[in-house]
Homo-oligomer: A and B are copies of this chain.
Amino acid sequence: MPVTIKVNEESFTPRQQAVLTAALDLLVENGEGLTMTAVARRASCSKETLYKWFGDRDGLLTATVQWQAAKVRMPQVDRSALSAKALRLSIEQFARDLLTTIVGEVSITLNRTAVTHAAQEKDRLGIIVLENGPLAIRRRLKPILEAGRDARLLRFDNSEDAYRTFFGLVVRDVQIRLLLGDRSLTQSNVEANIEADATAATNQFFALYGADTAP
């Protein structure tokens, strides 16, 4: 008895959002410790209500991920001002935001949950995370890159390639190491370097795609 997923609706009642918050908290704390009983207890509601609202465990999980993934802050950069300096700042800001998001505990949890899910023929969560993570960034960044090209500030044939290179330069091996639980990458440790890393990645990106680069 599948329940229609609420997409593009923030139509969760406050009570329901409280439940989703509880579920997310459990996910973050316990990883796989998201049991229906635990959520019910944490949110002070009955299991019956959970099943009524979300259909089954998978529905609850999906709703939680969906709801949380949709609220990752995505930088809104103005496309109008296109001086070389403004473009660089925009892109650097993107790098910063991307790193900040990826490093966050919520993001790590969501990605882990989705990967776990994807290990069982189910790609629903994976698609959701993908859609709200990398792909969302791509949707926002591409127009900026193309505007930069139109203004002769950047040079590339394929904006897709340019975006993916940017992603690689910024993320490097940080995300996979965090997902794998690398102990030598403490949260604070990484956070302290976000500024420098974002700047470095931006410099490298411009070195590769800046219009003043030798072809």
Contacts and interface: CB of A to CB of B under 8 A. Distances in A.
Which of A32, A115, A172, A213 has most B Cβ within 10 Å? A115
Interface in A111-143: 111-116, 118-123, 126-127, 129-130, 134
Interface in A70-121: 109, 111-116, 118-121
Contacts of A179: 115, 118, 126, 179
A113 B119 CA distance: 8
Contact of A168 (B115, B122, B170): B170
Contacts of A21: none
Interface in A141-183: 161, 164-165, 167-173, 175-177, 179-183
Given A168-B171, A173-B168, A181 B118 contact: yes
Contact of A167 (B114, B115, B122, B172): B172
A38 interface: no
B116 A119 contact: yes
